[in-house]
Chain A
Amino acid sequence: MNGTISRLAFQSLFGQKRWWVLVALPLLLMGLCLLVQVLTSGDAAATSFEPVIVVFGLGLVLPLVSLLVTTGVLGPEIDDGSIVYLLSKPVSRYVVALSKLVVAVAVTVVLGAGSLFVAGLILDPSQLGQALAVAVGAAVAGTAYCAAFVMLSAINRHGMISGLIYVLVFEGLLASWLSGLRFVSVSAFGRRIAEGLDDSLNLVAGNLPVTYAWLASLVVIVAGCYVAGRRLSRFQLRGDE
C-alpha cells in the first residue's frame, strides 16, 4: 500500500465536480425507501423489500457506484497517459494498482453497502440483523465488482461500456432466465452471502452454496488485483505520433 497513491486516487474522485454523480445513486436509493415508507404508512417492508433492495439497490446502485468509482480511479489516467507521473517512480506497479483499488473498494463499500444498510433500516427499523447481513453481502459484492470491472477494462478499451453490459445485460437480463449464470454473477454471490448471514432473508439468489459464494468472490478479488497490477507493469507510453 502506498498512502500517496491512495490519497491522489481519492482526490481524483472527489476533487473534481463529478463527485456528486457518485453520491446521487445512493441518495436516490435511500430517498426511494423513505418515499415508499411514507406512502405505505409504515408497511413498506413486506411489499417493497425485494424490488427496492434486491432489484434497485443490489442490482443497480451497488454495481453502478462500483463501476463509476473503479473506472474513475484507474481509467482516465491510463487513457490520457498521465499515469506515467505515478509510474515513473521506484514503487512496485502492483502496489500502485492495489493502492488505487483499495480506494475504489472503500468508496464503494461506504456509498454502496452503506446506503443499502440505511435503506434496509428505513424499510424495516426492527430488523437490524437483516440490514447488517445485506450490508455485508453488498460490501463483499462491491469489492468483487471493483475487481471484475478492473479485469473487464484490462481486456478491452471500453471499460465503462463492458461494465455496463455485464451489469445490465448479463446480470440484469440473462441471469434471470438462465439460472446457471448465478455461478458467475457477482450480484448472486453478494445476495447469497447476505442470506447466509441471516436466515430470514430471501434475496432470490437461488440455491448457490454459501461457501461457493465466498470463495468465488475471493477468487474474483484476488484475480482483479493481479490483473490491475499486471496491466500497470506492462503500461506503455505512446506519443501522439
Chain B
Amino acid sequence: MSVLELANTSRWYGNVVAVNDVSMQIGPGVTGLLGPNGAGKTTLIAMMSGFLAPSAGTVLLDGTPVWGNVSVYRAIGLVPEREASFGYLSGRQFVRANAELHKLSSPGEATERALGIVDLVEPAGRLISTYSKGMRQRIKLAAALVHDPAVLLLDEPFNGVDPRQRMHLMELLTRMGAEGRTVLFSSHILEEVEQIARHIEVIVSGRHAASGDFGAIRRLMTDRPNVYLVRSSDDRRLATVLMAAESVAGVQLEPRGGVQVQVTDFGEFAVALPRLARDHRISLREVTPTDESLESVFAYLVSA
C-alpha cells in the first residue's frame, strides 16, 4: 500500500505557472486525473514520477521525496504519453530490458508474467515498430508492470486506442486498483474517467478544481445543461417527441436541418433518445454535442 502526497506543490516555467499550489493525496485504488488539454496533468505526473522538480512544495511517496531519488522507481511504474521509440526491439526484448534494469532476480519470468497481464504473449516476438497503437500502449504498460510496482502512473493511457482495446485496458486498471495498487491515470475525457475511477481529481489551468468520489463529480456533470444537435429522417416529429421527454428542457428546429436539443440530464437523454426514435420509427443520422468544448464543461465544474 503506497500513498503519493502532494503538499502545496507548484511548478512554473519562467513566469508561466503550469501547476499552482496543488495539494492532494493519492492512495490505493484507481484515481482519475481529469482536466482539459494543457491543464497541467502531464506536469503533475512528471512531478509525481520524479521527472520534474517542484518549484515550490513537496511531492512525497510514502514520506520520501520523489525528485532526485532513483530508488523510488522500485515502487513506481510509469506509462508516459510519449511513444517508446524502441521500434528496433521486439516487445519481449523491450519488456525484458525493463526487467533487467530493475535488477529483478528472474527477469525472464517477470517478462512473461507482464506480457501475460497485458495479453501480448503471442505478438511479443514481433518488432515494436510493427505494433498498432493499442498494442504499443499495452507494451508500455507491460514494461511499467514488470517489477510489480505498488504505484502505477499513466499519462493519457486511452489516447488513440480503439474501443475494444480501451475496454481491455480499463479492465486491467480496475483489476490493478482492486489488488490494492495505487493507480493514477490522466484523461481529458469525462466518461472515460468515471467508468473506472473511484476517486477523481480535477485540474483546470494548473489549479486543483475539484476532488471527490465519482458520484459527486458525476452529479455536477449531469446537472449541467447540455446542447446537442440531432439530425434525423423527420426532424419536426422528433422535436415533438423529444419535448415530451423528462430529460429535455427545450428543442429548436435548425434552419439548415436538424434539431437543437437542450438536455438537463445527459445520462437519461442518452438512453431515451434511441428508444424514442425507434418507437416513432424515426431514423437518427447524427447526434453531436454542440457545447461539449471541454473548457465550458470545466468552467461549469469550477463555478459549481
Contact = CB atoms under 8 A, between A and B. Distances in A.
Interface in B135-151: 143
Nearest to A76: B85
Given A12-B88, A90-B102, A236-B52, A241 B70 contact: no
Contact of B101 (A15, A82, A86, A235): A86
Contacts of B103: 90
Interface stretch (B36-44, B233-241, B260-268): B36-44
Contact of A233 (B38, B68, B71, B88): B68
Contact of B38 (A2, A11, A237, A241): A241
Interface of A (DSSP majority class)? loop
A85 B155 CA distance: 14
Contacts of A76: 85
Interface residues of B, number: 39
A11 B88 CA distance: 8
A121 B42 CA distance: 56
A241 B42 contact: yes
A11 B89 contact: yes
B112 interface: no
27 contacts: A3-B100, A4-B101, A5-B101, A11-B88, A12-B86, A81-B80, A82-B84, A84-B80, A85-B80, A86-B101, A88-B49, A88-B51, A88-B78, A89-B70, A89-B73, A91-B101, A236-B51, A236-B53, A237-B42, A237-B51, A239-B42, A239-B43, A239-B46, A239-B81, A239-B155, A241-B37, A241-B41
Contacts of A77: 85
B218 to A, nearest CB: 26
A44 B43 CA distance: 62
B97 interface: yes
Contact of A85 (B39, B50, B86): B86
Given A89-B98, A238-B42, A238-B46, A84 B81 contact: no
